[in-house]
């Protein structure tokens, strides 16, 4: 699914997977930058700092603007990123490959937590951060096989190397959808565990049907119908949920 990482030869001539792996801190930066790249965003230092603050505190990252700027300078020396004259950060070819690698491990770890360990969806993102840094290539291959070769994470983001596009061509955000039209949830935000629990409890998760029952933009709230119930959500949340037209079923009631 993804190209194998480089390996170093050990003293006995055998290869040692991960000897050239980047530090966990650098991998966290690459994961954030890769997700922004998927969303067609090219961040400044300040914007990247805001994104990094969404990571679990257990990752132990410094998230002040000076500390983030210092890390980006180190990543420039490692040829992982470029900072243009416009002060925006772009992944190099090497950085993009590193971002794909850590994103793949992270999203497979999310499936490991949900599908194989039976943990709740809202726990998956934070638990995956604890697991992602230690995955060897052999472990990934066995895990992919056990999971049944998933193409997207439990939250809908593509698993690098699976052939899935960054976003389906017909996808749109829920706030832009037409009331009464049937859609399938394509992707949901994964960083806020409390929001995730609400979405999961409301059955607003990937591949589930959803319909906007009533939209009131002037109040900033919409009512949506899912397979089991109706719930009200704010437009600030709806703009983070991606859906795609459901051509196989009638609108949810």
Contact 210, 174 (CB under 8 A): yes
Domain residue extents for the chain: 1-166, 172-245
Q: Which residue in 221, 214, 212 sits closest to 243, CA to CA?
A: 212
**What pTM did the predictor assign?**
0.84
Extract the tokens encoding 164: 């899935």
What is the crossing angle of helices 93-111 and 24-38, to 10°? 90
| CATH code of domain 1-166 | 1.10.10.10
> What is the residue-level pLDDT of the chain in tens, covering all 253 positions?
444 344 333 333 333 344 467 888 899 999 999 999 999 999 999 999 998 888 777 666 777 899 999 999 999 999 999 999 999 999 999 999 999 999 999 999 999 999 999 999 988 888 898 888 889 999 999 999 999 999 999 999 999 999 999 888 899 999 999 999 999 999 999 988 899 999 999 999 999 999 999 999 899 999 999 988 899 999 999 999 999 999 886 544 4
Contact 223, 234 (CB under 8 A): no
If you ran DSSP here, which 8-state letter would residue 152 be given? Answer: B
Chain-centroid distance, C-alpha 23: 20
**CATH annotation of 172-245:** 2.30.30.90
Number of alpha carbons in the 13 Å side-chain half-sphere of residue 205: 16
CB-based burial, 16-55: b 16+ in 10 Å, e otherwise: ebeeebbebebbbbbbbbbbbbbeeeebebeebbebbeeb
Which long-range contacts does 165-169 make (Cβ < 8 Å, 24+ apart)?
A: 166/38, 167/38, 167/242, 168/244
């Amino acid at each position: 699914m993804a190209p194998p990482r480089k390996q170093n030869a050990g003293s006995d001539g055998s290869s040692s997977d991960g000897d050239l792996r980047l530090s966990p801190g650098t991998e966290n930066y690459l994961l954030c930058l890769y997700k922004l790249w998927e969303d067609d965003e090219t961040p400044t230092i300040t914007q990247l700092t805001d994104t990094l603050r969404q990571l679990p505190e257990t990752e132990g990252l410094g998230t002040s603007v000076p500390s983030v700027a210092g890390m980006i300078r180190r990543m420039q020396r490692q040829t992982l990123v470029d900072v243009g004259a416009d002060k925006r950060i772009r992944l190099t070819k090497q950085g993009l490959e590193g971002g794909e690698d850590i994103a793949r491990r992270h999203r497979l770890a999310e499936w490991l937590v949900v599908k194989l360990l039976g943990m709740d969806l809202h726990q998956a993102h934070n638990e995956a951060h604890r697991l992602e840094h230690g995955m060897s290539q052999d472990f990934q291959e066995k895990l992919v096989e056990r999971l049944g070769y998933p193409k997207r994470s439990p939250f809908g983001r593509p698993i690098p190397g699976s052939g899935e596009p960054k976003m389906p061509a017909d996808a749109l955000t829920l706030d832009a959808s037409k009331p009464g039209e049937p859609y399938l949830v394509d992707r949901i935000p994964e960083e806020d565990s409390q929001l995730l629990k609400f979405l999961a409890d409301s059955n607003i998760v990937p591949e589930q049907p959803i319909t906007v029952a009533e939209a009131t933009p002037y109040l900033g709230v919409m009512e949506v119908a899912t397979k089991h119930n109706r719930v009200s959500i704010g437009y600030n949340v709806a703009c983070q949920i991606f859906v795609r037209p459901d051509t196989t079923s009638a609108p949810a009631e």
